[in-house]
Structure 1
């Protein structure tokens, strides 16, 4: 039993190393590290001096080079890798991408109309349908969505907000881009028929005022 567990661990370590080598092949990546956090793969990259680099560039670079099951769930660009006393990457010191995203959303939250509020509404809906955490930079189909779920999601959004999302945009746009097309969603509002009533009531009040 212990031998089988050791073999699985060795295979995972080899897979992580393969992903790191592939990621390090990006011309703007100076250093790369890939770790498992729970059931997700997280890729970290340090850009070469003076190079501009973001998570979408890294994701696109790996898409044609790795099978889907090896694709990291999250990508983070760091100024430098945290190192331990032995000079190796200190995996425990690598930032949690979800914690960073939550802090960023909290710091940018403001009055009604902030894009973060609309993105929060859509992220909650996607997370409910896809059964996984969702970031503003995520793509619906990259998270495991399919045409049936896409139709279900679009119907929910239409029911809640009156806006009909074009399904073709789900294949090419991030959650943040799609959320920007939605009307303002009040912070903390739940999805459902009541939300649309509150939104329509708010719009009518604006017109009458």
Structure 2
């Protein structure tokens, strides 16, 4: 579906009656069974899947995912560079805020938003960062640490 940050894979789950779904546990379970690109960027819990008159899932009637809430990785940034990186990550994903230890790809990041993020980092911080680096340094805090270790700034022609 199209989300504020662009197209993303959304998973809809119907918990068994009387149970409460733990999205983090479900995500972990899916990550253990599926390739990373097939793990939904967002998970939405519904009481039942809406059906058409023919008994098929009515995709148009599925609820639109809300902005991902701040999870356990959401803590206030602790230095100026990390704070700026948190804003850049949030902007790239069209989220209101982003914590220093939140994972870019777990919040719906994809190749286009990664390219946007890298471009903004290069422009605003005059620092060398590649899309490949983002797969290693997936959080603002990890990206800040990676950039602190960089020896020379990188200018894109």
Give me the TM-score of the superposition, normalised by structure 2: 0.49
Structure with greater contact order relative to length (CA < 8 Å, sep ≥ 6): 2
Larger helix fraction of residues: 1
